Chains A and B, each alone.
Chain A
Amino acid sequence: MKALLIAEYRDGKLLDSVYELIAFAEQMGAESSLFLVGSGEALPGFNGDLYLADIARHGEFNPEVHKELILGVAKQLQPGLVVFSHSSYGWDLAPRVAFGLKAAQISEVVAVVDGVPVVPVCNGKMRREVKAKTELRVMTLQAGAFGLPEIPATAPQVIPIDTSLSGRISFDGYEEAEKGGVDLSKAEIIVSAGRGIGKPENVAIIRDLAKALGGEYGASRPVVDAEWVEHNRQVGTTGQSVSPKLYVACGISGAIQHLAGMKRSEFVVAINTDKDAPIGEIADVLVVADLKQFVPVLTEKLQK
């Protein structure tokens, strides 16, 4: 089976996630070719064909045009599998391509069991094995689910591609993330508040524990969206990635996007009333308790 793997550029740089796509295709026993809208200056190490469209001409984010380019390659190559990262680029582009190819799209694949892709349900609480009814399958892969292979030093065989389509969506550049005074990426101890804190007044409970431990406090996305904690303390895919010695997750269920931002923590303590919350899967210690009762007791004992 042939696989077409869709690499990504962000801000003029090649993203490493392309190597996860390559690792996945190897696991599927597929013969891979790469697709990239990029420039000849930064190409992935790869032993095979790379279909390259010029980024200066086709834009870094231009989904209608990128779709057209991928459909053109697919027509030539006749792949059985078209693979994207489940990223802001991939989840945007994949359904367009799947529609154009009349193919099933299987989103956010985390594993493959006997050739059948597995995807998360309800934010990782359950998993689903999905079979496509179409011969050609489009897939997006969860970040980090498939390891990086050894990167070959060889340069790919470049096949230039082009389209005259210009698309209806115009991209006017990036806006940097809000920079605040808190750099959680360097903190050794982080205590984070999740939706389970219930109301904004309870942020103080989390802040007090962080102080008693000599660390910083952070928050998961719902708490930041509710404006209970400022955005520059958000941990997760769209916030900061952290790797403290101790991470205390209070009332955080453990959505994939949050786990992605804190899974490199050395020691994880989760405080949650739900024994089955996905955070329990990566926690070294899960304290099954109501944080509003437990955390103040813990803080008081630590202060002594």
Chain B
Amino acid sequence: MNILVCVKQVPDMESKFKINAAGTWYDITDLAWRMNEYDEYAVEQAVRLKEQLGDADLTVISIGPAKVTETIKKALAMGCDRGVHIVDEAVAGREPYEIASAIAAFAAGKEFAVIFTGMQSQDRGSAQVGVLLGEMLSLPSVTTIVDFAYADGTAVVKRELEGGIKARIKVAVPALFTCQLGLNTVRYPTLPNIMKAKKKELLAVPMAELLSVEPRQETVKISFPEKKGSGLILEGDPAELADKLIRILKDKTGVLA
């Protein structure tokens, strides 16, 4: 069975973000980058499926500049068999339809029986690429999964809904799944596996070879939200801060006697 997992490299969300010169995205310099958190669960689930089946070939794909190979290598160290790097310096400005189209162009005809993606990215957060990819490849897709089991050509999964309720879903493969946080416990790559990953195949494909669609939307402006301004900001020595806070709680809330 051929399995595909799609990953995105995103900035650490704790980063100090700045706006770029064009005012259309965050400044991509001076940031620490990592694998999109949702995609870590997708990679883990893909590796578990491969381990369960034994006879499976697992490809990890990512789009972006040279530094995304670091993220691909992490997925290889977690257990993917081969990496595909769609080389694209302009990835930050790409919208979901373009990204999904490029992945679909790569995946077409390769007979992937199961495709995993994160349910959304931590930066753009559109929650579109996975479902669009499924539509483009005419595969059924199930989103926001928090449980996955596979047997005899059928996947039995649970979708997470609001309020912690789950929906039980059954679908025959080939199919696509978008992964929610908490789907599994993500492994840490071991040192031997990190070394082994360095020898695994990593194919580079220029974005221009795969992208044949025009974007359907554009960002006109990015900005920081205006501060409400009503909140009080306290800074300083912990002991003084604690005294101040206790005074405020006594004055403003009825909870401290």
A, B from the same assembly: yes
Q: A128-B222, A238-B163, A266-B253 are in contact. Are A91 and B217 (CB under 8 A)?
A: no
Does B140 sit within 8 A of A, measured CB to CB?
A: yes
Q: How distant is B132 from chain A, measured CB to nearest CB, in Å?
A: 5
| Contact assessment for B140 and A64 in the assembled complex, using a CB-CB cutoff below 8 Å | yes
* Residue among B13, B239, B253, B254 facing the most chain A CB atoms (10 A cut-off): B253
A126–B222 CB distance below 8 A: yes
- A26 contacts B by Cβ under 8 Å: no
Across the interface, B17 reaches (CB within 8 A) one of A125, A175, A224, namely A125
**Size category, B interface:** 35 or more
A172 adjacent to B13 (CB under 8 Å):
no
Query: A294 touching B140 by the CB < 8 A rule?
Result: no
Q: Are A175 and B123 in contact (CB under 8 A)?
A: no
With contacts A96-B131, A96-B135, A128-B222 taken as known, whether A121 is within 8 angstroms of B166 at the C-beta atoms is: no
Are the C-beta atoms of B169 and A237 separated by less than 8 Å? no
Instruction: List B residues 199-236 near A (Cβ within 8 Å).
Output: 214-225, 227-228, 230-235
Chain B residue contacts of A132, Cβ below 8 A: 216-217
| Contact string against B for A residues 84-108, beta-carbon threshold 8 Å, 1 for contact and 0 otherwise | 0001100110111011100111111
Contact indicator per residue, chain A 48-90, by CB within 8 Å of chain B (1) or not (0): 0000000000000100100000000000000000000001100
Closest to A86 in B: B127
- Chain A residues 178 to 236 lying within 8 A of chain B, measured CB to CB, are 178, 188-189, 213-215, 221-222, 224-225, 227, 231, 234
B163 in contact with A105 (CB, 8 Å): no
Q: Which residues of A contact B123 (CB under 8 A)?
A: 121-122
A92 to chain B, nearest CB (A): 4
A169 and B97: CB pair below 8 A? no
Q: Counting CB contacts under 8 A, is B45 at the interface?
A: no
Give 28 CB contacts A-B under 8 Å: A88-B143, A91-B127, A91-B144, A95-B135, A98-B132, A104-B95, A119-B125, A127-B222, A131-B218, A168-B140, A169-B171, A170-B171, A173-B167, A174-B166, A175-B165, A177-B165, A188-B255, A214-B255, A221-B182, A222-B181, A246-B249, A280-B231, A282-B231, A285-B231, A286-B234, A289-B235, A289-B238, A298-B238
Interface residues of B (CB under 8 A from A): 11, 13-14, 16-17, 19, 26, 95-97, 120, 122-128, 131-132, 135-136, 140, 142-144, 158-172, 175, 181-182, 185, 214-225, 227-228, 230-235, 238-239, 241-243, 245-246, 248-249, 252-256
Which 7 pairs across A and B sit closest by C-beta, in order of nearness?
A: A177-B164, A95-B131, A104-B216, A225-B182, A172-B168, A104-B217, A168-B140
Given contacts A95-B127, A287-B245, 17 further A-B contacts (CB under 8 A): A91-B120, A98-B132, A104-B217, A116-B220, A129-B221, A130-B218, A133-B215, A168-B172, A170-B171, A172-B169, A174-B167, A213-B256, A227-B185, A245-B253, A266-B253, A289-B241, A297-B239
